[in-house]
Structure 1
Amino acid sequence: MKDGSGVINLNSMGDADGFLGYLKPVSAENIPVNTEILLSFSPCQPFSQPEDLRGADCTNIAACLIVRYQRLDTYSSRCIGYGRHEGNEFHYNDTLKMLSVSYFAVEKQPLTVVHYHCNPNESTSFIRDQRLSSEEPLHIWVESPCACPNACTMGDLGSGTIFLIILSLSAAAYFIIGSCALRPFRSSSGVQISPEHSVWCMICYLCTERSSEARHYTDTTRYER
């Protein structure tokens, strides 16, 4: 955060697919009995709904509502985008230990406002409550230990990543040293390579010179005593 108190990692709150809530039922006022509203929300990663759903643009969004209608024996679904990650706004309340993030679409008013509450007593992140009305944005309240500053780090390098880095550096050093220390030449049997004597002599000379300087420094120190 800007005050230097720490970092809140929203990416750690989602599941393996990045969702904090996927097709989660939402209660709303004045909806028909045969209508169901489902919420899908990703706190950090944009997602897209299937193209066969009717409705507004539901690609690269942060939150969406899927409205399902039942007419006789058939069901129809409609997708409504409820905010994107681009241009979202952050507000942190240090007293309540709560981070509020507003997600916008085209309008200047936010469509979704998510309140991430710092709760170190919880082991996982979950949606505690949501409120949907026609006069206000969609409000979502989240309880999460990762909403506490510096509680969930971005993750250190794994052993596999470190091994690949060392392997890549070793391969690069091998080819660089090999290109300097080996000299190609053409013979009757084809192109061959042989050690470049000047390179190896230079390496041996540097090692010998360094050993001689260290020995001279030791002898000088001994005589001064």
Structure 2
Amino acid sequence: MSNCRCIMKDGSGVINLAAMADSDGFLGHLNTVPTENAPSDAEILVSFSPCQPFSEPEDLAGTDCTDVAACLTVKIRRNERYVSRYINYGRHEGNEFHYNSSLQTLSVSYSVPENTYPLTVVHYHCSAKRSSTFALHIGGDIPLQIWVESPCACPNACALGDVGPGTIFLITLLLSATAYFILGSCALRTLRLGSGVQLTPEESVWCTICYMLTENRHSRRRRKYSSMREETL
């Protein structure tokens, strides 16, 4: 299990949260959320990213919403203008996973160090539909609730987001090793001797490669010289 995906203990597969985010990594960005007990002159917006820490706003450093998983933006109208406040509603570090097999729902809780209870709980339900719903109650210990319906909430349903730097490195390494062995097999000749088998370089292969590289360089020079000559004429 990691901050971004859940490996099922029963071996049924993996639920990858990145597969349910949009192209910017969000499940919701500055979404207006229905709120109980909110001031009448306030507008409350919610942003949530299941995998990528973000800051709100992006062009203002040092707010409470720096490198967070969930952020609450509260806009209050004062003197004919809006004053915004940004509240950290959970980080990726230390998030907790709970899976209900009977409901086919994965619940992920996000907290902040100064609180003993989670501020955001996201429920991912295995479903053929795709939707997300937000609900917030101001005051008390009731967290922000997000319900996500998605086929990617089913184990092993979506592989999007699985390719990371480590995977890319392994793929590059395997391709390089394959090319090395193929080239090596073409460039070596097997000679059977009385004492065993000897591998000797196949000169024709290396000569062909060198010729192709040299010819390619000369052809570029000829094209360059030809173009310069035409300009001179």
Is the structural similarity TM-score above 0.5? Answer: yes
What residue number does 1:50 align with?
57
> What do the CA deviations read for 1:95-141 (whole angstroms, capped 9, x no partner)?
1111000001112211111111110x22x4x3134233312111111
1:118 equivalent among 126, 136, 142: 126
- 1:153 and 2:159 are equivalent in the alignment: yes
- 1:131 and 2:132 are equivalent in the alignment: no
Q: Distance in 2 between matches of 1:128 and 1:207?
A: 76
Report the structure number with the largest CA radius of gyration: 1
- 1:96 and 2:100 are equivalent in the alignment: no
What residue number does 1:17 align with?
24
**Structure 2: which 5+ runs fail to align?**
1-7, 198-233
Q: Distance in 2 between matches of 1:97 and 1:73?
A: 48
Q: Distance in 2 between matches of 1:142 and 1:64?
A: 17
Q: Distance in 2 between matches of 1:149 and 1:127?
A: 19
> What do the CA deviations read for 1:50-98 (whole angstroms, capped 9, x no partner)?
3666995211111010001111321111100100010010000011111
1:33 equivalent among 1, 18, 40: 40
CA RMSD of aligned residues (A): 3.3
1:81 equivalent among 80, 88, 91: 88
Report if aligned partners of 1:53, 1:78 keep a CA contact under 8 Å in 2: no
Report if aligned partners of 1:26, 1:132 keep a CA contact under 8 Å in 2: no
Q: Distance in 2 between matches of 1:97 and 1:41?
A: 22
What residue number does 1:216 align with?
none
Q: Distance in 2 between matches of 1:73 and 1:43?
A: 35
Report if aligned partners of 1:54, 1:78 keep a CA contact under 8 Å in 2: no
Aligned residue type for 1:43:
P
Q: Distance in 2 between matches of 1:72 and 1:156?
A: 49
Report if aligned partners of 2:33, 2:134 keep a CA contact under 8 Å in 1: no
Aligned residue type for 2:45:
L
- Structure 1 residues 134 and 168: CA distance shift in structure 2, 3 A: same
The number of residue pairs the alignment matches comes to 181
TM-score of the aligned structures, taking structure 1 as reference length: 0.68
Moved more, 163-172 or 3-12: 163-172
Task: Give SS of 2:14's match.
Answer: coil
Q: Distance in 1 between matches of 2:153 and 2:58?
A: 33
**Structure 1: which 5+ runs fail to align?**
182-199, 211-225
Q: Identity of aligned pairs, percent? A: 56
